[in-house]
Amino acid sequence: MPRRKSNPESPRAAPDDLRNLVSRMRALRMSVKMLRVKETGRMENVAREIESLERALEAYEKKRAAEDKKLDQIMTEMQTEFALLQTLYEALRRPPLSQATFVRFVRYDTIGKEKIPVIEIKTGDGSHAFVCLVAGDVSPEKLRYGQIMLTAGGGKAAVVEVREEFPLESIEATVKEMLGADRDGERILVSFGGHDESRVVHARAGVSAADLKAGDRVLVNAAASLLLEALPRKESTEHTLTKIPDVTFDDIGGLRDLKRKIREGLAWPLLHPEAWRTLGLSFPKGFVLEGGPGQGKTMIAKAVVNFMNDLLSKKLGRKVEGHFMHIDAPAYLDKWVGETERRMRLDFEMAHQLASADSPVVIFIDEADALLSTRGTTISSDVNKTHVTQFNALVDGLKELSYVVVILATNRRDLLDPAVIREGRFDRIFHVSAPDEEAAREILALYLKPVWGQINPKYNVAVYTPTDRNGNPRSDPKTNKTIHYRFDQDPAKAAGYLIGKAVARMYDRNNPANRLFRIKYEGERERTVYRYGDFASGARIKNIVDLAKLAAFGRHEADHENEPLGVVLADLYYAIEESFGRLRTPSSENEIYNWLAIQGKGVARRIEGGVEYFTPDATIGEDDEGL
């Protein structure tokens, strides 16, 4: 075969060159590798430098942001301060403003092409002025009497602002007289407090002058001579119960003769008015209830309301609801001269307005001797003489069969002014005496109900045998036989037994613990005053039942299993001692007769020979049932 021609550039043709080329390539690769390593180091240095620069830039940006925020805050504060200064500057540039109140729209005046309303205002000093209304788009026809507005130019040039409100500054006043209307409306004469300063005012828009009358309480802006608001008739309505008392004569224990006299004194004139007039008898205007504290005077007065309601309801054939005005005489008094008399007039006027055949009114004056005491007996200014005079005039002004009954209650009839209780006024004086044994039994029965739970179930037996304090059956000392009571598991019989024992204990004059003191009044025989019976009252008897029930509950609460709920005789005995043990007599003999008079034991009388006090005997007695 023919030989191929050799290529001088082929490696095979030049092995040395090839090796040189390979060496160069290797050297080049090494150089590249070394360059890469070197550049990598440089790049890392550059990267680190860039990262350092970035951190420095971030720190600078944060610092700049903080500085910008601080600058913004400073700028905001400066803007606020500038706005305030600008406001103050504008206020200083304005003319002085004055407050006035709107009276009426007068007319429109034409100035150039503009129609400017002219109105009448009342300035702060009470004078009137005619000014232009330049307060923007305000219709003068919609302004209301007494509305607040601001004027500029010395107070009488122009109205620059109209407010929606009315004056707030006010003082309480009393309407004295309605004087008739003028161009501004109804004129009202009012007086301020106890100073008796008077002023003529007009009612602001929204207050109806037609609803006002003498004696009403109102709020007045004296500077503007403006009546702002009519107040509720508090001084009269505070004595009127919103709910008719639910007390009847059946709720009052004892006092049968007294209740009969009151019923007859009120029923006969109301049921037979023509016969009353034919006989020429006067219709009752009221009566006096005298008696010691807690004897039921207030309950009797409340019962009179319901008695009259029932009486008139049966007569008229329709429901009748009366009113009860409870006046606490000591709280009724006022330090301002003439104020108490004004309150009397308001209350009697209100009673006249409410009273009718369909609505009888009872005015009950409690502690009447504080309001109507004998004139000339006080050591101060003796202002009570006008109280008595005003009261007598009001009572004398009551018409016949006016359906208004006035009841006075007092512990000391002897302190009432003689003109009050003279014949023709309050000559009917009923003594509310302390309950006797029969009355005490009735009162106890009102509050100790014959139901198991109020009565301890230990009495729920057919035959009950009482025990002494040692738990032994009690026997009759005369016959020496064991005592038994037949209850027949009837709570009413058990309640009767407890009530009878409690009453016997209260009125036992042989009990040494019952004796209080021995006294001799001038012109009388010496007598012993007893703690229980002589100072019993309906309120105290109710308190005895309440204390007994509390003792029963305490015993049951301490031991539910062995102590059933309900009153036992020992609870009543404990309550009697506890209630009457609170009775405290004066330590001075000079005060004892006044104390007795307050307790309803007659008028004050001189004591002869002093007072002999007995030492209380702590012994409760044998009939104690476990005490």
d(CA 585, CA 597): 12
Flag whether 425 is in a domain. Answer: yes
Whether residues 426 and 466 fall in one domain: no
- Helix axes 437-447 and 491-506, enclosed angle (nearest 10): 140
- Closest CA relative to residue 325, chosen from 307, 341, 342, 349: 349
- Closest CA relative to residue 581, chosen from 626, 538, 543: 543
Q: How many CA atoms lie within 13 A of 475 on its CB side?
A: 7
d(CA 351, CA 383): 25
Whether residues 260 and 363 fall in one domain: yes
Flag whether 28 is in a domain. Answer: no
Radius of gyration of the chain measured on its C-alpha atoms: 49
Task: Copy the structure tokens of residue 206.
Answer: 């929204």
Dihedral sign from CA coordinates of 155, 156, 162, 166 = positive
Flag whether 524 is in a domain. Answer: yes
In the prediction, which pLDDT does 317 show? Answer: 85
The beta-strand segments (E) located in 204-270 are 217-221, 226-230
Residue 31 DSSP one-character state: H
CATH number of the domain bearing residue 336: 3.40.50.300
Flag whether 446 is in a domain. Answer: yes
Flag whether 23 is in a domain. Answer: no
Which pTM was predicted?
0.60
Whether residues 284 and 320 fall in one domain: yes
Residue 360 DSSP one-character state: -
d(CA 396, CA 401): 13
d(CA 332, CA 363): 13
Q: Are 511 and 621 in contact (CB under 8 A)?
A: yes
Q: Which of 180, 198, 231 is the last residue of a domain?
A: 231
In the prediction, which pLDDT does 616 show? Answer: 62
Q: Which of 372, 396, 431 is the last residue of a domain?
A: 431
Flag whether 625 is in a domain. Answer: no
Whether residues 583 and 548 fall in one domain: yes
Whether residues 446 and 469 fall in one domain: yes
- Closest CA relative to residue 169, chosen from 119, 124, 122, 209: 124
Paired residues of 582 in beta bridges: none
Q: Are 295 and 600 in contact (CB under 8 A)?
A: yes
d(CA 54, CA 67): 20
Whether residues 289 and 406 fall in one domain: yes
Flag whether 22 is in a domain. Answer: no
Number of separate helices (H) and strands (E) present in the chain: 13, 20
The beta-strand segments (E) located in 384-506 are 404-410, 429-431, 463-464, 485-486
Q: Are 561 and 552 in contact (CB under 8 A)?
A: no
CATH number of the domain bearing residue 195: 2.40.50.140
Strands 171-182 and 429-431: unpaired
Residue for token pair 């040039």: 157
- Closest CA relative to residue 304, chosen from 409, 193, 381: 409
d(CA 288, CA 301): 10
SS3 198: strand
Task: Copy the structure tokens of residue 409.
Answer: 């209650």
Q: Are 468 and 474 in contact (CB under 8 A)?
A: yes
| Other Cβ atoms within 10 Å of 182 Cβ, number | 10
- Closest CA relative to residue 599, chosen from 543, 538, 542, 537: 537
Q: For each successive 10 residues of the chain (627 residues), what is the average pLDDT?
A: 49 62 73 70 71 77 84 83 62 63 78 74 74 74 76 64 67 77 75 65 72 74 72 56 71 83 82 82 82 84 86 84 83 72 80 80 86 69 70 79 84 84 82 87 92 92 86 84 90 93 88 78 75 82 92 90 90 88 69 70 63 63 46
In the prediction, which pLDDT does 314 show? Answer: 86
Q: Which of 402, 431, 460 is the last residue of a domain?
A: 431
d(CA 552, CA 567): 5
d(CA 143, CA 121): 11
Whether residues 307 and 285 fall in one domain: yes
In the prediction, which pLDDT does 384 show? Answer: 61
> Exposure pattern of 129-148 as b/e (b: 16+ CB <10 Å)?
eebbbbbeebebeebebbbb
Whether residues 399 and 319 fall in one domain: yes
SS3 503: helix
**What total of structural domains would you count in the chain?**
5
Q: In what order do the strands lie in the sheet with 323-328?
A: 323-328, 361-366, 404-410, 286-290, 429-431
Residue for token pair 């919609």: 142
Whether residues 500 and 394 fall in one domain: no
Whether residues 275 and 406 fall in one domain: yes
CATH number of the domain bearing residue 150: 2.40.50
Residue ranges making up the domain that contains 206:
171-231
Whether residues 443 and 370 fall in one domain: no
Q: In what order do the strands lie in the sheet with 527-530?
A: 527-530, 515-521, 607-613
Whether residues 188 and 156 fall in one domain: no
d(CA 239, CA 351): 11
Task: Copy the structure tokens of residue 148.
Answer: 């607040």
Flag whether 587 is in a domain. Answer: yes
Phi, then psi, of 166 in degrees rounded to 5: -115, 165
| Other Cβ atoms within 10 Å of 216 Cβ, number | 18
Dihedral sign from CA coordinates of 500, 504, 507, 513 = negative
Q: Which residues contact 313 (CB under 8 A, 6 or more apart)?
A: 319, 320
